[in-house]
Structure 1
Amino acid sequence: MHQALLVPEVLLEIFAYVNTIPSTETTSTQKLLAALARTCKIFYEPAMDLLWTEIDELEPLLGCVTRLHPLVYGMRGMTWRDNFISWANGVEPLSAHEAHQFMCHSSRIRTLNIQSDDPHLLFVIPADACVFPRLRSLSLSTTYLDLILPHTLHQCHLLTVNEGLQSFVTRCIALEQLRIYPEMHGGGSMAYELSPLSDRIRWCTLLVTLSCPMLDSTTWKDLSYVPTLLKLEIDQGYPYNDHPSLSEQDIVNLSFLNITSLSFRRLDDGAEIITVIQHSQFPSLKEFKFEAKYLISGEAERLFHALSRCKACQTLEKISICLFDEYFHFPESRDVETLTPIPHFLCFTQLRTLQLMCYNSYIYLDNDMLSQAMSSWPHIHTLEINDSGDHVPSSEVSLRGLFTALGLCPQLHRLRVPINLATIDIDPDAEPIQHTSLRSLTLETSVSEIAHAETLARIISAWLPCVDRVQNMDRSWDEVNEHLKSLTAAAALYVAGAS
């Protein structure tokens, strides 16, 4: 053996590299590490540490128990998750001696994911035992919390919530990331299980990332005082109707000084969340996401206005708003509601990404508004405006207005906007002002077939040399794209001949 392998730092570096080698059909990374562990005593400890760093389910640990080994590894072609309940319910709990076998490698585990919910095999292990002393990331049901919780835990993903949450937040004093997934709960109302949620979260005073269902007014206020909190995600999940109501008089003058990312997902009624935003300040906010079912235009405009007033004008870089109800359809005779979000967002001078998806409303945009937006957002990289597309007025953005606005945003890489192509208001033979950063272009029109396809393709090719096709879900742009393909090929041949 080479003397360099006796240096621990060198050995760890080599093994860390082995751990990054992708698994193949014939050799997996785990098999490589297991082979190294069997090579010699010097290799054993570092190889085993890497082999056991991340574990899915308790199957590998239970497989270390002599009595259970044939049951665990005799399930050829079957997964532990599918078969745990079927065989574990008929198996005797571990004895004291078998508990030691179960825990022989548990101290090596840093990341643990458990989705099964039948801990009866582990009854012999004392509730105060720290089975996983080096654990840093945990994903599981609260059924196992009393058994597993180490003080070193930094990340936890909970699949259910019950009374065990109290011991969880009081013991895990180093917890920095907490994610709770309400949709993972099997049928029935979630109100009972989520009832301790708000009461317990306020104990987590070192949180950096929190993702959970709706919170009550008191917890919103408590979270505003957590100085370490950087990322907050409210995921209402399913069903929508089981969440605490917010008291408007308690949500006043909240200041989340350090939050950089704020996200609201799968909201049914966004009114209460809009109230929170109206009465809060986020002076460090960089990213805002809002996803809800249909909002009436008044509520949507209230959201846009509240966001513009949250003191993030100099920091906000990304806005993504999606208002979508998959069961909603416009009646033929119904007037489409018009939204005007763009004027509210002109104050965000650091904006790099704006994504507006309102599938049951019409987002108003014209040439002047688009130019004003581009001049207000000098760093814009992605602009996507996508509305219902059906039963909406024709876009007020012309081809000339589009290219004029593009000249104001040299860093734009991705663009999706509605456009009016009733007339081609650019001379295809005029000297173009090329925009060389744009790579992805999606233009929405209200017509099923585009006239003057060849002329339009020549203009796009000349002004946007890095765009080789217009992205679109329907076939209205097929003819334009065929011409663009030919023009791109001809340009490539010309460059090759010139060189």
Structure 2
Amino acid sequence: MPCSTLEEAAFFEARAQQSCTFLLTLVYAFLFPNHCRVLRKLPSRIKTTVCTEHSGFQKCCSSCSFKSARTKPRSRAVTKLATLARLGRTSKIFSDPALDVLWSFQDTIFNVIKCMPPAVWSYNWTLRRPIMQSDWDRALRYIYRVRYFSCSPFSFPACVYPTGLFETLRLSLPAPHLFPQLRRLRWMFYTHTFLPPAPFLFTPTLTDISLGAFRTITQLSLLPALAVKCPLLTHVQIIQDVVPGIDPSRIISSFICGLDHVESLKVARLDQKAHDHLSALPRLKTLILTTPDIDASTTPPHFSRTFEPRFTSLCHFTLSSTTSQSILALIPSLSHSPLESLALRDIHPSPDASSVRQIFAALKKWFPRTTLRCINVASEAHLTEAGHGQPEPPAITIKTFRPLFHFTHLTSVKLRPPTGIDVADEDVLALAEAWPQLEHLFLRTRSAAHPPRATLRSLLHLAEHCAKLATLQLIVDASTVPPIERSEHKARILHYALRHWTVGAPSLISSPIQVARFLSGIFPALDGISVYGDDYDEDDDGSDTDMQSWDEVGTALPICHEMREEERFWIRQSQGALIGYSKECIQSARKTQQREWERSLEGSTSGYQIRHLSVEAEGSPQQGLKGS
């Protein structure tokens, strides 16, 4: 059709190009179905983009190795990348989108270096000649595609010094940043002191950054300017080591006070000023603090429910390596938070039962009841082993953590205080009734001098009241196996969610076969029993004997499962055959009665009435005769 204007001509030309691209895509999908399985998982923009650099893609794929150093050589991720590379080499249509995917994540700098002419670098990655601006022409076409860059000691050979290599690239790069569109940066050197090239990698587009570990004053000097150079940061992780002769809390807090859009933060050594700044951020959802320098004089009476709301969006809070006084000072500031998970780790000095009771009582007073899902109170230290002539500290009982029963929607409870936990069967019953939504339960045991009071009957309480319980760590006395209740008025207890049970040590046991039979009858899906908990003592001979007995339980448990499953299979087979035979007999009898009934009514009733009566009397022909 003739076009009257240039705009209409351009419109029809664009539509013709789109139609041609669509037809080429259909042809390619028909010829290469395996490649198109990868395309279905790509974003929609990749499926509709037309490539203009097919030759550049060929050269890039031939010189660069697109696989992560942390993945296995023949893993599924590497296979997908190889398929994507073959796809880009085959079709010009998908070349450019494939490059975006292949270059989006880089965990090595050598893919960028390989884009330069071979005459620039030697085999040990040292310069053969000065780098010219033209040497960057090919690399500049690909570095803007990088969105996530990760750098660690595993990213370099032993003969390469990262600081010198990055400094060489920084001096010769004809651009202010190596990756102009970088969104995420991970620079982690735990055992080295390599300094990240700040102006080189800190692009204004960064939103997620992980840096560490800071060990020197020079490295800490990077932090204050980081908030200015990267104003869009939303996820920040700072790993900081001990710096001799300096308190890093001030400089780290200065960096934190410059963050206005952060949503997730992991940091150590915060002062009160930085804490107040974080409490006013409207988007902060995850906060992980280690050794915070919080003013412990901010006692709970200073706060009230009518106080200005703080941490209004905080959902996950972790506090490590701090004192009980600091915890009690921080808890009231979280009263307006929709908190879902709380973790208190490595409290120093190790709290006794009274301090733990105060913390749990404060949680009940200040925390929301309906939102909290996970509680984790753990300590690496274990004080249950008393010294020579020293009395053992009292264990945590149900009276201590009963305030936690206030949170009825808990799904994960991990209580591993240094003094251990002492519970009986009735305590486990109260616990199971208070937390019916439990999925993970971990209770640390006491020392070998205190035999457990809980028995296998505690497992019955958990199976009856906690239908979603999947993992369990609980020490029990299995020397006596409770009898199986055979009552017509009570349903059998079957729990299909529990997958793993960490018994701990010392767990007394007398008959491993009977225990395996008991567990198999209640937990058909239990496939693992572990005794290597944090309470196991390798020097205790009694613990070795118990460990061997529980290993026998773990060996016999799959056999018991197979025997029960085999019996269930044959029961289902016999019931299914009997039911099938009964249905065939009933259907045959009904057809015979239907034919006899229609024959008896033939000639005296119209066909319409016969069909009508047969529908009404489908189950009983005699009822149809009476109705007529």
Q: Same fold (TM over 0.5)?
A: yes
Q: Please report how far the alpha carbon of residue 135 of structure 1 lies from its aligned counterpart in structure 2 after TM superposition.
A: 1.3
Task: Tell me the residue number matched to 1:364.
Answer: 422
Cα shift at 1:259: 0.7
C-alpha distance 109-193 of structure 1, shift in aligned 2 (>3 A):
farther
Structure 2 residue runs without a partner (length 5+)? 1-18, 30-34, 44-66, 153-161, 189-194, 304-308, 533-546, 574-628
Matched positions, count:
470
Shift of 1:301: 3.3
Which residue matches 2:261? 206
Contact 1:208 1:230 in 2 (8 A): yes
CA distance in 2, matches of 1:255, 1:451: 55
Compared CA separation, residues 327 and 352, structure 1 to 2 (3 A)? closer
Instruction: Answer yes or no: is the 8 Å Cα contact 1:395–1:445 preserved in 2.
Output: no
Which is further off, 268-277 or 217-226?
268-277
CA pair 483-131 structure 1, distance change in 2 beyond 3 A = closer
Q: Which amino acid aligns with 1:111?
A: Y
Quick one: which amino acid aligns to residue 135 of structure 1? L
Letter in 1 for 2:210: H
Are residues 1:245 and 2:293 paired? Answer: yes
Residues 59-83 of structure 1: CA deviation (Å, up to 9, x unaligned): 2222223267543xx35xxxxxxxx
- 2:362 aligns to what? 306
Task: Give the direction of change, closer, same or farther, for the CA distance of 1:449–1:173 in structure 2 (3 Å limit).
Answer: closer
Q: How far, CA to CA, are the matches of 2:243 and 2:272 in structure 1?
A: 25
Match of 2:565 among 470, 489, 492: 492
- Aligned pair in 2 of structure 1 residues 47, 345: CA closer, same or farther (>3 Å)? same
The code of the aligned residue for 2:101 comes to L
Report deviation, 1:491: 1.4
Match in the other structure for 1:276:
330
The answer as to whether partners of 1:314 and 1:349 remain within 8 angstroms in 2 is yes
CA distance in 2, matches of 1:92, 1:327: 63
Residue 122 of structure 1 pairs with residue 140 of structure 2: no
Aligned partner letter, 1:117: T
**Map of 1:106 onto structure 2:** 143
Partner of 1:220: 275
Residue in 2 that maps onto 1:290: 344
Change (3 A) 1:480 1:147: closer
The alignment status of 1:156 with 2:193, answered yes or no, reads no
Q: Deviations over 1:197-254 (max 9, x none)?
A: 11111221111111111311111111010010001112x4xxxxxx663223468647
TM-aligned CA distance change 1:56 to 1:7, over 3 Å: same
Contact 1:62 1:68 in 2 (8 A): no
Compared CA separation, residues 463 and 39, structure 1 to 2 (3 A): closer
Larger mean CA deviation between 21-30 and 314-323 belongs to: 21-30
> How far, CA to CA, are the matches of 1:419 and 1:3 in structure 2?
68
Change (3 A) 1:368 1:62: same
Q: Is the 8 A contact 1:215 1:244 kept in 2?
A: yes
Which of 204, 216, 233 does residue 175 from structure 1 map onto?
233
- 2:198 maps to which residue? 145
1:411 aligns with 2:431: no
Q: Structure 1, residues 232-281: CA drift from partner, whole Å, max 9, x if none?
A: 112x4xxxxxx66322346864721111111234x265653453235542
Q: Which residue of 1 aligns with 2:4?
A: none
Residue of structure 1 equivalent to 2:498: 439
The alignment status of 1:58 with 2:95, answered yes or no, reads no
Most deviating of 443-452 and 412-421: 443-452
Alignment of 1:378 with 2:441, yes or no, is no
Q: Tell me, in whole angstroms, the C-alpha distance in 2 between the residues paired with 1:117 and 1:308.
A: 51
CA shift in 2, pair 1:39/1:272, >3 Å? same
* Contact 2:205 2:232 (C-alpha < 8 Å) held by counterparts: yes
Question: Partner amino acid for 2:179?
Answer: F
Kindly tell me: are residues 134 and 99 of structure 1, through their superposed partners in 2, closer, same or farther at Cα, counting changes over 3 Å? same
- Code of the aligned partner of 1:166: P
Residue 462 (structure 1) shift: 3.0
Native 8 Å contact 2:432 2:461 kept in 1: no
Q: Secondary structure at the match of 1:375?
A: helix
Structure of greater Rg: 2
| CA shift for structure 1 position 172 | 2.0
Quick one: which of 443, 449, 457 aligns to 1:400? 457
Query: Aligned to 1:262, what secondary structure does the other structure show?
Result: strand
Change beyond 3 A, Cα 1:6–1:167: farther
Matched residues in 2 for 1:68 and 1:244: separation? Answer: 52
Instruction: Compare 166-175 and 21-30 and name the one that shifted more.
Output: 21-30
Q: Residue in 2 aligned with 1:258?
A: 313
CA distance in structure 2 between the aligned counterparts of 1:441 and 1:31, rounded to whole angstroms: 38
Preserved contact between residue 271 and residue 292 of structure 2 (Cα < 8 Å) = yes
Matched to 1:373, the amino acid is L
Distance in 1 (alpha carbons) for counterparts of 2:507 and 2:220: 54
**Amino acid in structure 2 at the alignment position of 1:414:** T
* CA shift for structure 1 position 307: 3.0
Closer/same/farther in 2, CA of residues 190 and 46 from structure 1, 3 Å limit: farther
CA–CA distance in structure 2, aligned partners of residues 328 and 461 of structure 1: 33
Kindly indicate whether the alpha-carbon contact (under 8 Å) linking 1:283 and 1:315 is maintained by their aligned counterparts in 2: no
